[in-house]
Homo-oligomer: A and B are copies of this chain.
Amino acid sequence: MAAAGQAAPAGLPVAVDAMGGDKAPGEIVAGARQASEELGIPVLLVGRPEELGDTGDLEILAATEVIEMEDDPGQGVRTKKDSSLVRAAEAVRDGRALAMVSAGNTGATMASALLRMGRIRGISRPAIATPIPRPATHPSVLLDAGANAECSPAMLVQFAQMGSAYATARYGTPRPKVALLSIGEEKSKGTPLVKETHALLAELPGISFMGNVEGRDLLAGEADVVVTDGFTGNVALKSLEGALRFFMDALLGVFDTDEATRGAAQVLFPHLAPFAAAFDPDNTGGAMLLGVDGVCVISHGSSSARAVVAAVQVAHDVATGGLVDRLKQAVDPG
């Protein structure tokens, strides 16, 4: 049996929380079947067997409880010990699964992974690493996207190390450019947290620190990894999402004005498709909880079957690629 988080044999399944997400269990089960059938990645479906419908050949791990979206994360994990989320995390801990994927309650997913898999030794706090599309190249990685509202400079330094290792594992970037999110490029700009972190990162071996970036650099910038506290990261990410959603809606509204605009839209759609695909959250493979002793993919709540396929693929690839070992090495290279 492989210990959790080591580069595990590809034969192990990815545990998928069948009960988590706005479209669970229907789309989740459909995505899990698709991943198994099309990608050949075995999936362990975790949930209430009687609610899962036709699961095909998939292996099922029965769990009688569900942590709902509105449940308190910590309390949910403590009181619902037979929930799909807790059981999925235990499957990774026990070497029965390569990795876990959930589109359910984000806080409870983090709590399940942290409490059942444990932290990687030497890491003070796990962080959520979220892909930010950069249509010209592979996505950049923003962390922390919301796990830790309050951070210390030492935590941000670990986020830089973890983010760099993750960018390599996930996108194959050999020496990711790491940036610190601030309100000016000068190292004198920002909060004391940012200024102290800047000084530490500038001296840190093992990463390629390029300095500060601003919010406007997130979509089109040079940074492969953008480090920030979980409060700022969450605000920045949701500001981007809101702006893109707003603009998309405005554009679709204009397209649908009259016969002439609908015709014009037909001409443009094929050219707009690559952008729409790049910004479709179902395509990114989801966010990753970095710092726990196992692979945990956090999919967005509205995940479709396609999102589940992408998440299973990413979970499988980074787990078999030894993500957890890379993270251990990144924070404790000695």
Contact = CB atoms under 8 A, between A and B. Distances in A.
A242 B217 contact: yes
A202 interface: no
Interface of A: 135, 146, 149-150, 181, 183, 189-192, 194, 214-220, 228, 230-232, 234-247, 250-251, 254-255, 257, 260-261, 263-265, 267-268, 271-272, 275
Identical chains bound together, number: 2
A183 B231 contact: yes
B267 A263 contact: yes
A190 B149 contact: yes
A231 B236 CA distance: 11
A247 B247 contact: yes
A257 B243 CA distance: 24
A267 to B, nearest CB: 4
Given A149-B190, A242-B220, A267-B260, A181 B250 contact: no
Contacts of A194: 149, 231
9 nearest CB pairs, A to B: A215-B238, A216-B242, A243-B243, A215-B239, A264-B264, A239-B239, A264-B267, A183-B234, A216-B238
Nearest to A235: B215
A247 B242 CA distance: 12
Contacts of A243: 218-219, 239-240, 243-244, 247
Given A243-B247, A261-B271, A268-B264, A235 B238 contact: no
B242 A219 contact: yes
B268 A261 contact: yes
Contacts of A255: 268
A149 B193 CA distance: 10
A192 B218 CA distance: 26
B263 A239 contact: no
B235 A181 contact: yes
A33 to B, nearest CB: 32
A235 B183 contact: yes
Nearest to A278: B250
Given A236-B236, A250-B275, A264-B264, 20 more contacts: A135-B250, A149-B183, A149-B189, A149-B194, A183-B235, A214-B234, A215-B237, A215-B239, A215-B240, A218-B243, A228-B235, A231-B232, A235-B239, A239-B243, A240-B243, A251-B251, A251-B272, A254-B268, A264-B265, A265-B268
